[in-house]
Structure 1
Amino acid sequence: MTKGKEPIIRNFHLVCIVNLVVGIIIQFSDESEFSVDMSKIELTHIPRDLSPKTKVLDMSQNYISEIHLSDISFLIELKVLRLSHNRIQCLDFSVFKFNQDLEYLDLSYNQLQKISCHPVMSLKHLDLSFNDFDVLPICKEFGKLTQLNFLGLSATKLKQLDILPIAHLKLGYILLDLEGYYVKENEVESLQIPSTKILHLVFPPNSLFSLQVNISVNIIECLQLTNVKLNEDNCKVLIKFLSDIIRGPNLLNFTLSHMATTWKCFIRVLEFFWPRPVEYLNIYNLTIVGSINKEDFTYSKTTLKALKIEHITHTVFIFSKTALYRAFSEMNIMMLTLSDTTFIHMLCPHTLSTFKFLNFTNNVFTDSIFQECSTLVKLETLILQKNDLENLFKIGLMTKQMPSLKILDVSWNSLQYNTQDGLCTWVGSIVVLNMSSNMLTDSVFRCLPPRVNVLDLHSNRIRSIPEDVNHLEALRELNVAFNSLTKLPGCGAMSSLSVLIIEYNSISNPPGDFFQNCQKMRSIRAGNNPFQCTCELRDFIQSVGQAPSEVVEGWPDSYVCDYPESSKGTPLKDFHVSPLSCNTALLIVTIVVTVLVLAITVTTLCVYFDVPWYLRMVCQWTQTRRRARNIPLEELQRTVQFHAFISYSDHDSAWVKNELLPNLEKEDIRVCLHERNFIPGKSIVENIINCIEKSYKSIFVLSPNFVQSEWCHYELYFAHHNLFHEGSNNLILILLEPIPQDNIPSKYHKLKALMTQRTYLEWPKEKSKHGLFWANIIAAFNAKLTLVTENSDEKDPT
């Protein structure tokens, strides 16, 4: 047996542990701020640097051998001290004299041989069991511990005199360790145990039950025996011991833990308890040795309500299964639990059974269990958890002849439902059905009891809940957590649904009108789903915010965004999106209006600041620069004397001399003017032709005055002729003033054609635009062009 009070206490039935003093531990376990756990870290003494406000101190499973006053005297608020599983050999209780609030002291599983007593009046729980005491370690000072509720003791010898100091106390729990108990042969002693609600006796684990002491107790409600090893010979020893200790009608609960026995002796033990006033019989870790044969046992009238056997093993594998199963199936009790066994079947009772509760958890039962069984008419609860069930259709047939069945648990199996098996048949009385942790799919909703109120389908393979299910009007609670559902179910087919657990699924966009459609909903757990925090989720978040806080469980911690990445991990309550971005029609109207307003604004600004003119001038400048770069330098290297020949009307001479010439000449552009560069003696036509041929560019200043000048027309004609003759791009048209097309004489058709086909530069009236105008003019000239002076071959680079 593995030593440890924890597993021993754990096996106690609920009826016994209601009044356990272990509640003291629970009381202080929540005070984590003042709780210190220093167990299992190989300490040899209690540290001195603990906080004086420490209330719970766990020093168990270390190597502490001594406790001194200075170790714990400063812990004046200490209430719980665990020192089990150490190496303490002796203890003076005076070390606790300054710990006036100490209520829980665990010194079990040490090497204590003697103690020196000092009253610690506040103690409610004192455990000295599983130590090396020769006699019971009970001091006379223990008789003053009026608040004491739990007392654990151990000794190799038992004497009534040793127990007298506490005979008057009314304890709640007495644990008596008899693993080291020894008595001489034929020497029998008697021990009167003080009245207690719970008495727990631990016997040697590897020896046959052979107790040479008559133990009796006046008042006892729960009795537990641990390490009971029996054979055919000493079976009567146990029965005699039980006969002596079970006398009054107060013993309601009896527990045998770690029991090894023959099948025949086991039946005799059951036979002993059947007429006794015990109501609850619990057997944990039962081992059947030897053969299993049919034993005659008539189940007489009994007050026993429940038999619970957990973890049954047997050492032989060839035996009469009928003898084994029939011994349990014919019992005339209300509740039977046979769990964690290797049972592969259970027989149907021969006669009408009294069973109301059957628990066969963790066996190897198959779908054939209780088929065509008509004697379980009183059965209300059937638990077949963790078996080998596979066919849900057969499970439904099994219940057909159980008219009182209300609760059915078939979880943790391999159940599936194939619609080809036909319509499921269930008894109509089932109201609670647990089919969690199986292999069920969406089709399970076609195979449910008609009046089920509570349905547990978590941890299956369900992807969706059919909307046309028409027989779930009575369903109030539904658990479909840990499936693959992608949306919240509607309440149309489940009009009474009030509790829904649907967490850990694949729901990304729950509908915003869920609470409107499910007005009876009083509790929903839908957290831990991959919520997509988009516009579709906005209405759901608003509806959750309007619902009472107790309705949406886990809110807001379990409800976080999973998509998009930018919002991942954001709580839904902190996710906000504007109504505009979620309303498509409103968004379109807003965009259109914004674009229109922007377009009108831009147009107005463009008109006001004459932006088109600027754009046109920039485009012209860019094109001019590109043409200048694209023309090879060799083609430009011809003998010219001027960068530009300027043709203008005498009426526009003031602008030419005051504006055009200064801006060109400051950029080292050599200009040819008729009044200073025409050669006397030559005709005007010859001078015009000569100047145009000797100039890289021809600039024409266009205005209504230009149109009226016939000589200007000649200059334009020759320049245009030169353009086509040489294939160059040597014309620059400057529109000084607007010229209406109607004002241009028809004989000036070349001027009309040029103004239509070629880009001209308009002289802006605003001074702010002059800079861009001159930049366009200058861009037309190549800086690498070489000029020669008249009557000289000397080059003049510019």
Structure 2
Amino acid sequence: MTKTNSLAFYCIIVLGLTLTKIQLSDESELIIKRPNANLSRVPKDLPLQTTTLDLSQNNISELRTSDILSLSKLRALIMSYNRLRYLNISVFKFNTELEYLDLSHNELRVISCHPTANLKHLDLSFNAFDALPICKEFGNLSQLQFLGLSGSQVQNSRVQLIGHLNISKVLLVLGDAYGEKEDPKCLQHISTETLHIVFPSKREFRFLLDMSVSTTISLELSNIKCVLEERDCAYFLRALLKLRKNRKLSHLILNNVETVWNSFINILQWVWHSPAKYVSISNVRLQGQLASSRFTYSDTSLKALSIRQVVADVFSFPQRYIYSIFSNMNIQNLTVSGTHMVHMLCPSQVSPFLYLDFTDNLLTDMVFKDCRNLTGLKSLSLQKNQLKNLGNVILMSAEMTSLQKLDISRNSLRYSDGGNPCSWTQSLLVLNLSSNMLTGSVFGCLPPKVRVLDLHNNRILSIPKDVTHLQALQELNVASNSLTDLPGCGAFSSLSVLAIDHNSVSHPSEDFFQSCRNIRSLTAGNNPFRCTCELREFAKSIGQASREVVEGWPDAYKCDYPESTKGTPLQDFHMSPLSCDTILLTVTIGATMLLLAATGAFLCLYFDVPWYVRMLCQWTRTRHRARNIPLEELQRNLQFHAFVSYSGHDSAWVKNELLPNLEKDDIRVCLHERNFVPGKSIVENIIHSIEKSYKSIFVLSPHFIQSEWCHYELYFAHHNLFHEGSDNLILVLLEPIPQYSIPTNYHKLKNLMAQRTYLEWPTEKNKRGLFWANLRASINVKLVNLAEATSYTQQ
């Protein structure tokens, strides 16, 4: 057999190898895999500690001792699908730990043997051997569990060399030339529980091989072809008849069967009377017409029959005969899938069927309509058919009084109550309705005792409030729908497993975990979560649940909105309680406003703000009255050189020192006791005097800071400084004033003393001349620009 063998063969072999368990020693493993690397020889750079080496699907044509000499720890070597033509098993003489050797699918014709006692798995199948490559040294492989062989000649003498070995599984691939020198009883010497025979794929089945190996429990036959003439299948049927001698035979598998309809029915009839209990027929191609004949159901050991992937070239004959054969089978388990079957008849009498699987056919709503003879049926699969109306399926199930499991997924089912009674069978426990066209209305009619319900991949937008109360429901799968919220457990009090991933759940109910206290498995990832306040409690609850409860946490749970949090895992999403609690936020804002108001009131009192407000009002009223004075009066020139502000306690110094030294130089000085206009308010007199004076002199002393009127005068003079933009303030420090003694409402005085230069009254007489000179200079600096002062008429 060459590399051109079909991929189906390879899949069969891979499956067989998967089922064969090879126990390697429990040391640390170093696995090197280099398949499809276009290698022409074994690489030289392999680590010395390599335990498993996979060089499959390359172009290696030769294997030498030097290639693997250094790999003393090698326990598994896979070189399938290469170009090896010759093998001397002595190349492995230094690999004493080798247990697994796969050389299948090469071009081997000859091998030279060498003692190898440790092999547990040896596969030489799908090669080009003429005779079975069995050496006498194979008889020493006492640990062998799997043996794969291929050859066109199966000789008694060779098979006897391994007859004493108890091999778990033997794979025998027959070459195209097999049968020319056939020895029908050559396999009788093999002792194995599982035997798989692959017949030649390019020829008709015309040989009579005795496959009734006395120790075989499971027999698998591949490549059964008899289509040229109907009598060609007589060879195969006679070969099957010999299997009746093996009473241990329990499992029979037929793969890649190509025959005519009548021969196929004959094969089924033989199966019925064989010792096999479990029969599987797959990848069948049928031709020709079908002649009706009686099918005998009596005297059978069969418990389960599986027929998968059937292609028929002709369907012009009445198909009712085929359906009646299947429907009246007196076995417990029947599987007919991938056959394009369009209908199935109801059994003519009460059926022993416990399990029926009609997956991947063309069955319609008419299947088992009004069928009352399936009362013992426990499991029914109608997956991937042409069912349209769920109401018809409900009526069908009502007659199946023992049905516990129903799979009607991957159809085109819709549901509309339309006044039809919700008459599900009371026994139904597991219901699969996935991959249909169902909406939320289906929750109005569900089996009352169902425990497992699968509704994933439908068109469900929401679970209605009037949902059928399913007190026994334990598992619910509503993934891949369009649900916007997690369903509570009000109607599903026993729910323990919920899958709702891949929906449109954006802000799950925060009380979900309180409603569903029995949940032990929740799959809710891959939803567009809105990471806002509404999600805060749910994220907290789901984060506190153990990873055994929340499936896919945390990788599948991420924020989708707002944009700033998109992609953020829910476990990293946090919002403060203040921003999410409206009442707490209102109380906090209110308390903050009250605190700010209290602080503002305290600061106003502390800095005497009310006083400044009153002064500002007085100034505003004075300025407002000034606007009513005629224009020619507003344009009048200044009347005084200086306005003097002082405390009454310092009046002696003003009258005895200040006035004489200034007025002798014709400097006109404004004093409140002689120049204020009677009838006007004090504030108006202060403002007018400051405005009519070129400078304002403030005589500073501890008495000054105790005078409220001095404070007014300083305030308005300072205000006029910024209003007029002139430098009209002169500070005369008569006595030292400590900073701490200045009241808080005199902060302007503090600023002026810190920022402006002031004249200090010297106690030494010899320094006073300079003091008066500086003061007169400050007043007379712009006298050249002053006009003659008009007389100040007392009002």
TM-score tier by shorter-chain length is 0.7 to 0.9
Query: Is this contact kept in 2: 1:416–1:439, CA < 8 A?
Result: yes
Question: Which residue number corresponds to residue 498 of structure 2?
Answer: 500
SS at match of 1:444: helix
2:46 aligned with 1:47, yes or no?
A: no
Offset of residue 484 of structure 1: 1.5
Q: Deviations over 1:88-109 (max 9, x none)?
A: 1112223333434333221110
Aligned CA distance change for structure 1 residues 351 and 643 (closer, same or farther; 3 Å):
same
1:488 counterpart (471, 486, 489): 486
Query: In the alignment, does 2:643 pair up with 1:648?
Result: yes
Structure 2 match to 1:695? none
Output the CA distance in 2 between the equivalents of 1:388 and 1:374.
22
Deviations 1:739-781 (A, max 9, x none): 779x99xxxxxx9xx99xx999999575542179979xxxxxx
Tell me the residue number matched to 2:207.
211
Q: TM-score, normalised by structure 2?
A: 0.78
Post-superposition CA distance 1:582-618 (Å, at most 9, x none): 3332233233333433454455456656789999999
Q: Is contact 2:83-2:107 (8 Å) kept?
A: yes
What is the rounded CA distance, in whole Å, between the counterparts of 2:616 and 2:47 in structure 1? 83
**Match in the other structure for 1:665:** none
Q: How has the CA–CA distance of structure 1 residues 704 and 124 changed in structure 2, closer, same or farther, with 3 Å as cutoff?
A: farther
User: Structure 1 residues 605 and 143, CA, compared in 2 at 3 Å: closer, same or farther?
Assistant: farther
* Between 588-597 and 218-227, the greater mean CA deviation after superposition: 588-597
Q: Is the 8 A contact 1:647 1:712 kept in 2?
A: no
Distance (whole Å) between structure 2 residues aligned to residue 73 and residue 610 of structure 1: 102
For residue 473 of structure 2, the aligned residue among 461, 472, 475 is 475
What's 1:514 paired with?
A: 512
In the alignment, structure 1 residue 257 sits paired with structure 2 residue 255: yes
1:770 to 744, 752, 759: 752
Q: Equivalent residue of 1:597, what SS?
A: helix
List runs of 5+ in structure 2 lacking aligned partners.
618-634, 655-661, 699-703, 732-745, 758-781, 788-795
The residue matched to 1:174 in structure 2 has which SS?
strand
Determine if contact 2:117/2:142 at 8 Å carries over to the other structure.
yes
Whether 1:92 aligns to 2:88 is: yes
| Code of the aligned partner of 1:364 | L
Q: Is the 8 A contact 2:22 2:120 kept in 1?
A: no
Aligned length: 706
Instruction: Give the AA of the match of 2:432.
Output: N
Mean Cα displacement is larger for which, 704-713 or 347-356? 704-713
Structure-2 change in CA distance of 1:598 and 1:273 (3 Å): same
Q: How does 1:577-726 map to 2 (within 5 A)?
A: 577-601=575-599, 604=602, 608=606, 646-649=641-644, 676=665, 704-705=672-673, 708=676
1:21 aligned partner:
20
Q: 1:332 to 1:534 in 2, by over 3 A?
A: same
Q: Which string of whole-angstrom CA distances, capped at 9 and with x for unpartnered residues, describes residues 192-225 of structure 1? A: 2411111111111121112254444221011111
AA in 1 matched with 2:54: D
Query: One-letter code of the match for 2:19?
Result: L
- Structure 1 residue 551: deviation in Å? 2.6
**Residue aligned with 1:328, SS:** helix
* 1:608–1:252 CA distance, 2 compared to 1 (3 A): same
Q: Please tell me whether residue 292 in structure 1 is matched to residue 287 in structure 2.
A: no
How far is the alpha carbon of 1:142 from its aligned partner? 1.8
Q: Which amino acid aligns with 1:459?
A: N
Maintained 8 Å contact 1:56/1:78 = yes
1:23-172 mapped onto 2 (5 Å cutoff) = 34-172=30-168
Counterpart residue identity of residue 475, structure 1: L
CA distance in 2, matches of 1:236, 1:78: 49
What amino acid is the match of 1:648? F
1:526 and 2:508 matched:
no
Amino acid at match of 1:501: A
Cα 1:733–1:524 shift into 2, 3 Å: farther
Aligned match of 2:557: 559
Q: Give the Cα separation in 1 of the matches to 2:283 and 2:197.
A: 16
Corresponding residue for 1:461? 459
- 1:96–1:567 Cα change, 3 Å: farther
Q: Distance in 1 between matches of 2:334 and 2:325?
A: 12
Instruction: Determine the C-alpha separation between the residues in 1 that align with 2:674 and 2:387.
Output: 110
Alpha-carbon distance in 2 for matches of 1:770, 1:149: 108
Seen in structure 2, the aligned counterparts of structure 1 residues 720 and 580 have a Cα distance that, compared at 3 Å, is closer
Question: How far 1:472 sits from its partner (Å)?
Answer: 0.9
Deviates more, 1:465-474 or 1:546-555: 546-555
Change (3 A) 1:387 1:188: closer
Q: Which amino acid aligns with 1:520?
A: N
What are the Cα deviations for residues 463-494 of structure 1, in whole angstroms up to 9, with x where unaligned?
Answer: 22223324311211111111122222111111
Question: In structure 2, do the counterparts of structure 1 residues 542 and 101 end up closer, same or farther at CA, with 3 Å as the change threshold?
Answer: farther
Tell me if structure 1 keeps the 8 A contact 2:640–2:693: no
SS at structure 1 position matched to 2:253: strand
Q: 2:404 maps to what in 1?
A: 406
Does the Cα contact within 8 Å between 1:480 and 1:502 map onto a contact in 2? Answer: yes
TM-superposed deviation, 1:461 = 1.2
Contact 2:643 2:695 in 1 (8 A): no
Please, which runs of 5 or more residues in structure 1 have no aligned partner? 620-638, 660-672, 679-687, 689-699, 724-728, 745-750, 776-785, 792-798
Q: Would you say 1:2 and 2:6 are equivalent positions?
A: yes
Residue identity in the other structure for 1:210: R
1:608-658 Cα offsets, whole Å, 9 max, x none, are: 567899999999xxxxxxxxxxxxxxxxxxx99x999634259699999x9
Amino acid at match of 2:278: Y
| Amino acid in the other structure paired with 1:580 | L
SS at match of 1:288: strand
Report SS of the residue matched to 2:45. Answer: coil
**Distance verdict in 2 for CA 1:450–1:4, change over 3 Å:** closer
> 2:267 is matched with which residue?
269
Q: Deviations over 1:125-175 (max 9, x none)?
A: 111000011211112222222221111000121111112221111111110
* Counterpart residue identity of residue 407, structure 1: K
Please tell me whether the aligned partners of residues 20 and 172 of structure 1 are also in contact (alpha carbons under 8 angstroms): no
Bigger drift between 318-327 and 279-288 goes to 318-327
Structure 1 residue 70: Cα displacement = 3.1
CA shift for structure 1 position 187: 7.7
Greater shift in the superposed pair: 197-206 or 320-329: 320-329
Secondary structure of the residue aligned to 1:217 is coil
Are the counterparts in 1 of residues 213 and 246 from structure 2 also a CA contact under 8 Å? no
Say if 1:53 and 1:75, in contact at 8 Å, map to a contact too.
Answer: yes
Please give the alpha-carbon distance, in whole angstroms, between the structure 1 residues aligned to 2:559 and 2:329.
56
2:217 alignment counterpart: 221
Match of 2:305 in 1: 307
Indicate how the Cα distance of structure 1 residues 609 and 116 shifts in structure 2: closer, same or farther if over 3 A, else same: farther
Classify 1:646/1:137 alpha carbon distance in 2 versus 1 (closer, same or farther; 3 Å).
Answer: farther
Distance 2:454 2:646 in 1: 104
Match of 1:573 in 2: 571
Identity level (%): 45
Separation (CA, whole Å) in 1 of partners of 2:269 and 2:208: 24
Q: Secondary structure in 2 aligned to 1:495?
A: coil
Q: Secondary structure at the match of 1:254?
A: strand
Which SS does the other structure have where 1:382 is aligned? strand
Are the equivalent residues in 1 in contact too, given 2:334–2:353 (CA < 8 A)?
yes
RMSD over equivalenced CA pairs, Å: 4.5
Contact 2:22/2:145, CA 8 A, preserved across alignment: no
Distance 2:680 2:643 in 1: 7
Give the distance between the partners of 1:615 and 1:196, measured in 2 at CA. Answer: 113
1:443 CA drift (Å):
0.4
CA distance change for structure 1 residues 475 and 650 in 2, over 3 Å: closer, same or farther? closer
